[in-house]
Each structure stands twice: as structure tokens, then as C-alpha cells.
Amino acid sequence: MILSNIELHRAIDAGRLIIEPEPTPRFPAPGAHCPYDTHTVDLRLGDEIVVPNPGIFVYDHAQPERLSDHISRYSERFRITNRTPFKLERDQFVLGITHERIHLPIDASLSTCLAARIEWKSSRARCGLLIHFTAPTVHPGFEGRLVLEIINLGPSPILLTPGMFIAQLIVEEVKGIPSDNDPSEFQGQNTPTGGNLPIQ
């Protein structure tokens, strides 16, 4: 069940959904952008953009290696400001990060918890800006800022400015409490580098 704006407020008040800093105002007010729509809350772009550089390597996700180091080593980080926004060229792919930190705590004493999905905003999509084209799920228990996979498929460059409303969060109720610490949860990932213990 997707939470309405009112239920989003209740979840925040109850500590089941933590968004820091909390988006305000909760209701439309003169001269202020209300980040809440009927069942979404807008998130803003943070002040860092990461640009992957072309490398001489080929990613092989089937080959275990220090992938996180490779990805970081061959990318460049930019800090953006309102005076120095990032100019996203046509067909360019970069990573951004939300200004807000999201936390979906799991309270085992309850019979439900929350999960979320991050979606792009239709106003940005009309310009050809995709801000999160894969892996939109925010799992129960997650805590942190959300990394955005941004690509410009439009006909013109687009300026990325810190604080711009760039994405929207849709929060859903999960029926039951996930077996977060139960190894059986990870069945199907029975490989040498992940999942359950090897079968003997």
C-alpha cells in the first residue's frame, strides 16, 4: 500500500520514516514550494556530482574483483554550487546523490515496515532528464543518501544545481517484518562470493 501525503507525515512523526533534513512545508503555503504531492515527497539534489571517466578496462561483473575501487578510481568528483552548477551534456551519464538522508528503520515489535521507491519527476523527464533509471528500490532498514543515476537523453544540455528538486520518493508498507538476519533470506545467492555457505 502506497502512503498518502498524510500517511507520510504520520510515518515521519512516528519515526518509521526518517528524512533528514525533513522536507517542509508539509502543506502548500504562499511563496514556498511544498515538496509533498498526493503520495510522494520530493527530494533535492546534493552538492556532489560524480563523472565516470572512460577507462581502458572492461567491467566484468562475473569476475570477482575490487569493483568498488575500480569504479571510484576511474571517476571524478565535482562539488557544485548555485554559482557553479554542473552542465550535463546530451547523452552524458553522471552520478548524483540526494541532499536528504533516508532511513527506513525496522521495528521488530511491529507487524509492518516501510520500503520506498525513488522516481524521477515528470517535469524533468519532459526535458529528457532521467535521474534514476535503475535500482529504484529503497529496502527496509536502509539508511543513507540515495545515489542517483542521471543521464540526459534530451536535445539540450541541462544544468544540475544543488538543492533542485530532482526526484520523488514513494513510500510503501511492507506486510510483515523481513527476516533481515536470517540466512535463508539469501537463498538463491549461493555463489562463492555471496549468499549461503557452500553446500558440503
Partner 1 sequence: MSTYLLPCTVTPGQFSDEYAVAGQSFDGNFFSLFVPTSELHAPIVPSHQSPVEGVIEVELLKRQGDLGLIRLPRPTLENGRTVTVKLNSLMPTS
3-state secondary structure of 53: coil
Binder of partner 1 out of 64, 93, 156, 157 (CB under 8 A): 64
- Torsion over CA of 55, 157, 78 and 34, rounded to 10 degrees? -130
| Stretch binding partner 1 (CB under 8 A), from 21-29, 61-69, 117-125, 167-175 | 61-69
| Minimum distance, C-beta of residue 72 to partner 1, in the bound complex (Å) | 5
Which of 53, 68, 109, 134 forms a contact with partner 1 (CB under 8 A)? 68
Backbone angles phi, psi at 183, to 5 degrees: -55, -25
Annotated catalytic sites, by residue? 149
Give the range of 27-35, 72-80, 102-110, 120-128 binding partner 1 by CB under 8 A.
72-80
Cα(first)–Cα(last) distance of the chain, in Å? 42
- Of 53, 61, 123, 175, the one binding partner 1 (CB under 8 A) is 61
Element (H, E) at 117: strand 112-120
195: left (phi over 0), alpha (psi -120 to 50) or beta: left
Interface map 22-51 toward partner 1 (x if CB under 8 A): --------------------------x-x-
